[in-house]
Amino acid sequence: VLDFNDPFSTEVKPRILLMGLRRSGKSSIQKVVFHKMSPNETLFLESTNKICREDVSNSSFVNFQIWDFPGQIDFFDPTFDYEMIFRGTGALIFVIDSQDDYMEALARLHLTVTRAYKVNPDINFEIFIHKVDGLSDDHKIETQRDIHQRANDDLADAGLEKIHLSFYLTSIYDHSIFEAFSKVVQKLIPQLPTLENLLNIFISNSGIEKAFLFDVVSKIYIATDSTPVDMQTYELCCDMIDVVIDISCIYGLKDDGTGTPYDKESMAIIKLNNTTVLYLKEVTKFLALVCFVREESFERKGLIDYNFHCFRKAIQEVFEVRMKVVRSRKHQSHMQKSKRPTPNGTPRMPL
C-alpha cells in the first residue's frame, strides 16, 4: 500500500475530500452511498470530530480514498497541513445545507476553494446543495441559482474566474446523491472516454435504448452511453441491482453461507409494462451492465449476447492495461525509495 505522501499514490488511488459546515450531512452521504445505510438511520450519527479516511475499492474503476472532514476544521491552524492534503486530491466535494442560512457556508467554500486551487489547480470542485428533499421544486431552482451566482461572484471578485465549480441538488432520501457521486467519480476515471465509446458501439449494434455500467456495491454508474440520462431510468436501474443482489444473497448462497451472491453467471431480465425490457449482465465481479431494450429488439437476444461478449472482453482488456500501469507506477515508486540516501548519506541498496 502506497503512503499518501508518495507522488505515485494519488495516481493509483485518487483522493476525494468531503467538506462543509457542521451538520451539513457529509457523514450521512458517505454512509448511505458506500455503506448501504438507511437514510433514516443517519439521524442517529454523531457529529464528526476528527478527519476520517476510508479506502473505497469496490471495483477496478471505483477505487479511491474518501476523507471526511469535520466542519470545524481551521485552515489557519498551523497543525493543519492543508498543502499536503490538497496536493494529492482529485475532487473536493463541498456540502451546503440548503435548508439553513448558507452565507457562512459560502464564505467557507470560498476560503476552501481558493486555498486548494493555489496548491493544486487540477482539483475538481463539486458543490452538493444538500437536503433539498425539504424544498419545493421552485425553491430548489431558486436556491441553486442563488448559491451558483454568489459563489462565482466571490471568485470573480478575487480574480479567480477560471476556477470551475460544478453544482448538484442532492438528498439521501432519493437517488440524486448517487447520481451526483457518479458524476464526481467519472471525472476521476481516465478510461472514461474509452468506456463511453465501447458503450456507444455496443448499443448502436444491439438495438439498445440506453446502457449503464454500474458498480454493484455503491450503485454509482461509472459510465453510460452518449444519450442523455433520465433520472427515472437511473432509479429503475438502481432498483433492479438491489433486487438482484438481495435475492441472490437470500437464495443464492450455499447452506453453509459460502459462495458469492454475484458472479459471472449473474443476469436478470425484467419486462416492464411499457414494452421495455430491463436487462442486467455481469461484466466483472464488481461491475454490471444494465440496459433498456425495446421488446421487439430483445427478440434478437442472441445478437445482444454476442455483442455483450465482445463488450466484456474489451472491458477486461482496458482493466488489464490499467493494472499494468498501476504495477509500473508502484515499481517506479519502489525504485525511487530504494535510491533515497540513508540518514548517514549512503544510498540505499535494494535487497
Q: Tell me, what CATH number does 252's domain have?
A: 3.30.450.190
**Does residue 2 fall inside a structural domain?**
no
Q: Are residues 132 and 228 in the same domain?
A: no
Mean pLDDT, rounded, for 152-169: 93
**Does residue 23 fall inside a structural domain?**
yes
The cell for 135 is 424544498
pLDDT at 3 over 60: no
Q: Are residues 111 and 64 in the same domain?
A: yes
Q: Are residues 35 and 168 in the same domain?
A: yes
pLDDT given at position 294: 92
Question: CA-to-CA distance for 132 and 171, rounded, in angstroms?
Answer: 6
Question: CA-to-CA distance for 97 and 78, rounded, in angstroms?
Answer: 28
**Does residue 331 fall inside a structural domain?**
no
pLDDT given at position 6: 38
**Does residue 289 fall inside a structural domain?**
yes
**Does residue 264 fall inside a structural domain?**
yes
Percent of the chain with pLDDT over 70: 88
Q: Which of 65-69, 221-225, 238-242, 342-346 has the lowest mean pLDDT?
A: 342-346
Which of 188, 206, 237 marks a domain boundary?
Answer: 188
Give the residue carrying C-alpha cell 428533499: 133
Q: Are residues 152 and 251 in the same domain?
A: no
Tens-digit pLDDT profile for residues 74-133: 766 777 777 888 888 899 999 999 988 899 999 999 999 998 999 999 999 999 999 999
Closest CA to 107 of 47, 160, 163, 155: 155
CATH of the domain at 58: 3.40.50.300
Number of domains making up the chain: 2
pLDDT given at position 61: 63
Q: Are residues 229 and 162 in the same domain?
A: no
pLDDT given at position 340: 62
Mean pLDDT, rounded, for 296-319: 92
Q: Which of 103-117, 177-191, 284-298, 337-351 has the lowest mean pLDDT?
A: 337-351
Which of 188, 223, 255 marks a domain boundary?
Answer: 188
Closest CA to 165 of 104, 229, 117: 117
Query: Bigger pLDDT: 210 or 81?
Result: 210
pLDDT given at position 8: 36
Mean pLDDT, rounded, for 30-38: 86
pLDDT confidence tier of residue 341, bands split at 50, 70 and 90: low
Closest CA to 93 of 170, 40, 39, 35: 170
**Does residue 1 fall inside a structural domain?**
no
Q: Are residues 119 and 203 in the same domain?
A: no
Q: Which domain holds residue 229?
A: 191-323
**Could you give the C-alpha distances from 26 to 23, 112, 196, 274, in angstroms and in order?**
8, 16, 30, 38
Q: Are residues 183 and 269 in the same domain?
A: no
**Does residue 302 fall inside a structural domain?**
yes
pLDDT given at position 125: 96
pLDDT given at position 96: 95
Mean pLDDT, rounded, for 324-328: 75
Task: Report the chain's mean pLDDT, rounded to a whole number.
Answer: 84
